[in-house]
Amino acid sequence: MASTQTDPAAVPPPVPPPASPPAAPPSPRPALVAATLGFALITLDTSVVNVALPTIGAEWGTGMAGLQWVVDAYTLSFAALLLSTGALADRVGASRAFGAGAVVFTLASAGCGLAPGLPWLLAARAVQGVAAAVMLPASLALVREAYGDPGRRARAVALWAAGGTVAVALGPVAGGALTAAWSWRGVFFVNLPLGLLALVLLARVPGSARRPAPMDVPGQVTAAVALGALTFAAIEGGPEGGAALAVAVAAFAAFLRIEARRSGPVVPLDLFRNRTVAVAVAAGAANSVAFYGTIFVFGLFFQQRLGLSALMAGLMFLPMTGLLAVVNVLSAKVAARYGARLPALVGQAVAVSGLLALLAVDEHTSLTAQALLLVPMSLGVGFSLPPLIAALMEAVPAERAGTAAGVLNAARQTAGALAVAVFGSLAARGFDLALPVSLLIGAGLLTLTTLASLRLPRAGR
């Protein structure tokens, strides 16, 4: 009988299964939308509460100092921690930092809306500011990670920045509308669905890698103490204010000493040896004094002196804020063609002219005229700021871009907080003093930075 065994050499090799197609890379859109929404939320809260302040004061019998702290409890904690939260986002990963910040920000917003009294509200506002400081650099890092192609990344960053601009523009109007239709608590409760939406989108974003980054705790602590004590001195005045000013000076001196000696300082002091960096930071701060200080003092003036409703007061700011996004885009195009120096100079000069024109406003000025007179200052700020930021980014090495951006943003937020402190103290003495002095302070600072901007490099250099 013949054997039925088969020669192993004659057996054809098994056919491997067809290779599965490579998995499609995750869509970058959830990261972009989540980051833009988060940036818009934290930017909105720098201005949305201003129009609601008189209503808060009337409900709780809060004086001017309390109303100033409602704004500055958020802005100060936001500004002070911006110096080091970029490094924190690198250490824990941008997605984790953004998620944690968004959770805390949303819970703190609920705490603000449920506040039974001023101390509770101020504490919740400070927690909001801490969370916002964590979210801001993490949100930009999310966008950078999601888009590998430089061209697509640039467009995504522009959309992210536009979200913040739109939020600033909508802040006073949204605050007035929510206060009139609901109550002042509505300006905080509106954050809840938006914060939850950002977290839902973040769940679709791949986790971020952790990166080593130095943390300068002593520098961060002394900076926070200096900023807080200086703002307390400006708001409270009197013997307590004098003592706070001494603490601020001592803390700032300690901060400079620490930063000069550390190998990884939170604010590398040698950054300011670069003329462009120094001018951009100073001009950014002056723009914030003019913009946020004007919104604060005129928001009070419209309601407390003119007797306008919160909704009407918010609508008074619509002409000045409605064109901000358009002007930002236009200034970027001008800067791309002529360099940052020209739009920075033109924008700041227009803002100075606008502030001086507002000196003519009093209770007899028509509402239409007042709303229109606010426009030039806003357009000037919106036209000058993007080129200044671009000039700063071009002036530093790539590895220092995040640090320089943190310094600029911290300077802008700090300047806005100090403007609210000083202008609010003036308003407590009457608007006949507060309006002209506040406008002249803003105009004077912007005049100085306009002159300093003459030292920015010309196009092509």
How far is CA 50 from each of CA 249, 251, 288, 311, rounded to the nearest angstrom?
29, 30, 15, 12
81 CB-near residues (< 8 Å, 6+ apart): 129, 130, 133, 134, 220, 224
Q: Helices 64-92 and 118-146 meet at what angle, rounded to 10?
A: 30
Of 156, 182, 206, at which residue does a domain stop?
206
Whether 357 and 336 map to the same domain: the answer is yes
Q: Is residue 212 in a domain?
A: no
DSSP string, 40-52: HHHHHTTTTTGGG
8 CB-near residues (< 8 Å, 6+ apart): none
User: How far is it, in rounded angstroms, from Cα 248 to Cα 255?
Assistant: 10
Which H, E and C letters describe 192-233, residue by residue?
HHHHHHHHHHHCCCCCCCCCCCCCCHHHHHHHHHHHHHHHHH
User: How far is it, in rounded angstroms, from Cα 311 to Cα 315?
Assistant: 6
Whether 393 and 250 map to the same domain: the answer is no
Q: Is residue 4 in a domain?
A: no
Q: Is residue 432 in a domain?
A: yes
Whether 89 and 69 map to the same domain: the answer is yes
Whether 259 and 408 map to the same domain: the answer is no
pLDDT tens across the length of the chain (461 residues):
444 444 544 555 565 565 555 555 667 788 888 988 998 999 888 888 888 899 999 999 888 888 889 988 998 888 888 877 777 777 788 888 899 999 999 999 999 999 999 999 999 999 999 999 998 888 877 887 777 776 677 677 777 877 887 888 788 888 888 998 888 999 999 999 999 999 999 988 887 777 766 677 888 889 889 888 888 888 887 778 888 899 999 999 998 999 888 877 878 888 888 888 899 899 999 999 999 899 889 989 999 899 999 889 889 988 888 787 788 778 878 877 888 888 899 999 999 999 999 999 988 999 999 999 999 999 998 888 888 877 887 787 766 666 777 788 888 888 888 888 888 888 888 888 889 999 999 999 999 999 999 988 876 55
User: How far is it, in rounded angstroms, from Cα 425 to Cα 64?
Assistant: 7
DSSP assignment, residue 271?
A: G
Q: Is residue 14 in a domain?
A: no
Question: Hey, which bits of 304-427 come out as E strands?
Answer: none
How far is CA 432 from each of CA 95, 296, 451, rounded to the nearest angstrom?
49, 15, 29
Task: Provide the residue range defining the domain that includes 249.
Answer: 217-265
Whether 332 and 313 map to the same domain: the answer is yes
User: How far is it, in rounded angstroms, from Cα 252 to Cα 410?
Assistant: 15
Q: Is residue 22 in a domain?
A: no
Of 178, 206, 234, at which residue does a domain stop?
206
How far is CA 307 from each of CA 56, 257, 282, 301, 383, rounded to the nearest angstrom?
15, 50, 36, 8, 32
Q: Is residue 416 in a domain?
A: yes
Whether 42 and 179 map to the same domain: the answer is yes
Q: Is residue 9 in a domain?
A: no
Whether 186 and 261 map to the same domain: the answer is no
Tokens representing 457 are 């490099």
CATH code of the domain covering residue 157 = 1.20.1250.20
User: How far is it, in rounded angstroms, from Cα 376 to Cα 350?
Assistant: 6
User: How far is it, in rounded angstroms, from Cα 422 to Cα 438?
Assistant: 8
Number of separate domains in the chain: 3
In this prediction the pTM is: 0.81
321 CB-near residues (< 8 Å, 6+ apart): 168, 169, 170, 171, 172, 173, 378
Whether 368 and 243 map to the same domain: the answer is no
Quick check: 42 and 105 in contact, CB under 8 A? yes
User: How far is it, in rounded angstroms, from Cα 249 to Cα 251?
Assistant: 6
Q: How many Cα atoms are found within 13 Å in the side-chain-facing hemisphere of 96?
A: 11
Closest CA to 166 of 81, 54, 41: 41
Q: Is residue 71 in a domain?
A: yes
Whether 261 and 274 map to the same domain: the answer is no
Whether 189 and 288 map to the same domain: the answer is no
Whether 259 and 276 map to the same domain: the answer is no
Whether 176 and 239 map to the same domain: the answer is no
- pLDDT tens-digit profile of 198-256? 999 998 888 777 776 667 788 888 988 988 888 888 888 777 888 889 999 999 999 89
